[in-house]
Structure 1
């Protein structure tokens, strides 16, 4: 069966009541993140230099040798494989300061990423990426140990690098809870994932490997979906017609967030420079991110309901009506165009349709 990979962002809390232990774990994670930041730049630098050796036409033939393991190729100039070259550099610089499982996962991810863009780098079409200090901390799925659930599956506990964690799924984390329950039952596999540190909060970007579920679909049934200015999605399957969401329901919270942002920006006119900077970096930036999260969440909900309707009616094909005319109408109305997320909704529909085996056509 075809393998699928699903990513879920899960909030983690340190599973301890000892404040000193919590502070120590958080400090350690921030130190590891800084090491990952430096190591990521070193990995790309080493592999870029290795690649460029072949492009240096001004060197003699004796210098422009093959970038391969001398044990496998007599003309090779490396004492080990290319992937292991950067790992040896990381081991020499950071062994003892960070678990080498983290360095191994980081090295594997970045070498694979470098290989994909190596041609663009060599031709000059792309520049070397510069990694930021906010880089996620990667780890292998086998590093998650002692996974267990409590409170009827509402909270999951596990250890990662001997640090105790528990999940915080909230009221809308049904899909995350389901994936963790399936992981606990060995129905899915946890692949290389990562930890994200954001303003003292810890999130796990968990990558689950699943298999495409065989759905009983009828090839003769076609569902037709269109994006409307009054409803996010209108679906027609045969003689049946469904509406998903509504204009008022979708815009209610988003407009409230935008109004709060406007009020705070107006208040900035009566503040000094330091107060304005503080307000912008705290309240206003948080509200902007809150608006983005709300829109993304709604798009996920609407796209999932659309796919559920297709599965309920056994529609094997989903036809997305061309939105060119309606998008033009939206552009003529700046209010609607500002608050409607056409493109993001389309992307999420495409991904969810592919996951369940529904053929997606764009008219």
Structure 2
């Protein structure tokens, strides 16, 4: 059986109640849980790092063997439980009774595994220890999302989370969110650990699905070769066909247009009506925030989608990525180009879409 993949979709949800008092209390509860998750996340990473440094505390003593394992499993162990459970006990001591422990359990499992992946970089000095802020998402186990159903009246979906009724707000959904949620109701796909995100007074569910890769009639002997360059983002060779995806000029033209719009707005901001301080003065500039980054991110999504569609069209089971190394070295020294292009971001999107379609990716 092919390996399953995890899909994550950002879905806006609202509290399914018209009681103002209940709404106010629920929002206060969610923000309280978010603050507790922030503290708990920093506790986890701090304790994981301190456990790694325990050996340094014995530098004055000879012949002391220290292992971060359960003493019942290893005579040199110094822990009374497993490493994962040790951080969970710390969280239980500080936060038990203030929030559901299943949230802390999900947070502990994910962050401990993340620390183990990055621990070597910490000690080599390649990465600093993670520090979490108050906008951290709230992890939610799949078993905590109950009574997931489709609401016929609104065309949305409803569920209960820790006794709080929620419903989705999909609006004009042009993506696959509604289709995935319908499959979830029909139990065609599996729900995984998701996250609740609070942003600017709105609530979002970062819902994670587990599903099998898409089935396409791909032929193992057909290989698509895609070269990444600056002049033409992607050049695809499949059998006797050659395709060009994107061009350099559209990045340059659109970015300059966005920058010119920002400069015009900044000059006009001096004449904006005041009365609410700096925020009111610069309100017109806010809509251009991250406009350039969002545009490039959108184009990379389009390019990667076109590439995978071409592979499916020609039944190519393998995608070979070749890089223009000279162009990449030139890019590193040119800040102007660096603002417009990111090979790693493009490769990440290509890899994700290829895995979803069941296409093997090989990098040269």
Please tell me the TM-score bracket, short chain as reference.
0.7 to 0.9
The answer as to whether partners of 1:153 and 1:181 remain within 8 angstroms in 2 is: no
The answer as to whether partners of 2:274 and 2:281 remain within 8 angstroms in 1 is: no
Looking at structure 2, the residues matched to 201 and 289 of structure 1 have their Cα atoms a distance apart, in angstroms, of 20
Q: Show the counterpart of 1:7.
A: 8
Tell me, what secondary structure is at the counterpart of 1:288?
coil
Q: Show the counterpart of 2:79.
A: 78
CA RMSD of aligned residues (A): 3.9
Looking at structure 1, the residues matched to 149 and 137 of structure 2 have their Cα atoms a distance apart, in angstroms, of 25
Tell me, what secondary structure is at the counterpart of 1:135?
coil
**Structure 1 unmatched ranges of 5 or more:** none
With 335-344 and 92-101 compared, the bigger mean Cα shift is at 335-344
What is the Cα deviation at residue 140 of structure 1? 1.1
Q: Show the counterpart of 1:174.
A: 175
1:204 counterpart = 2:205: yes
What is the Cα deviation at residue 299 of structure 1? 2.9
Query: What is the number of residues matched between the two proteins?
Result: 363
Looking at structure 2, the residues matched to 152 and 257 of structure 1 have their Cα atoms a distance apart, in angstroms, of 42
Looking at structure 2, the residues matched to 73 and 362 of structure 1 have their Cα atoms a distance apart, in angstroms, of 42
Query: CA distance change for structure 1 residues 327 and 277 in 2, over 3 Å: closer, same or farther?
Result: farther
What is the Cα deviation at residue 243 of structure 1? 6.4
Tell me, what secondary structure is at the counterpart of 2:210?
strand
Q: Show the counterpart of 1:219.
A: 220
The answer as to whether partners of 2:72 and 2:80 remain within 8 angstroms in 1 is: yes
Q: Show the counterpart of 1:350.
A: 351
What is the Cα deviation at residue 223 of structure 1? 3.5
Query: CA distance change for structure 1 residues 280 and 209 in 2, over 3 Å: closer, same or farther?
Result: farther
What is the Cα deviation at residue 254 of structure 1? 7.0
Q: Show the counterpart of 1:186.
A: 187
- 1:187-245 per-position Cα deviation (integer Å, ceiling 9, x unaligned): 32222221121111222222222223443212343445466889865655445566667
Q: Show the counterpart of 1:51.
A: 52
- 1:280-336 per-position Cα deviation (integer Å, ceiling 9, x unaligned): 8755344324553444344324422331232122122334564568889999x9999
Q: Show the counterpart of 1:267.
A: 268
TM-score, structure 1 normalization: 0.81
What is the Cα deviation at residue 85 of structure 1? 1.6
**Structure 2 unmatched ranges of 5 or more:** none
Q: Show the counterpart of 2:102.
A: 101
Tell me, what secondary structure is at the counterpart of 1:88?
helix
TM-score, structure 2 normalization: 0.81
With 255-264 and 345-354 compared, the bigger mean Cα shift is at 255-264
Query: CA distance change for structure 1 residues 151 and 284 in 2, over 3 Å: closer, same or farther?
Result: farther
Looking at structure 2, the residues matched to 254 and 97 of structure 1 have their Cα atoms a distance apart, in angstroms, of 48
Query: CA distance change for structure 1 residues 20 and 254 in 2, over 3 Å: closer, same or farther?
Result: farther
Looking at structure 2, the residues matched to 240 and 321 of structure 1 have their Cα atoms a distance apart, in angstroms, of 17
Looking at structure 2, the residues matched to 49 and 241 of structure 1 have their Cα atoms a distance apart, in angstroms, of 55
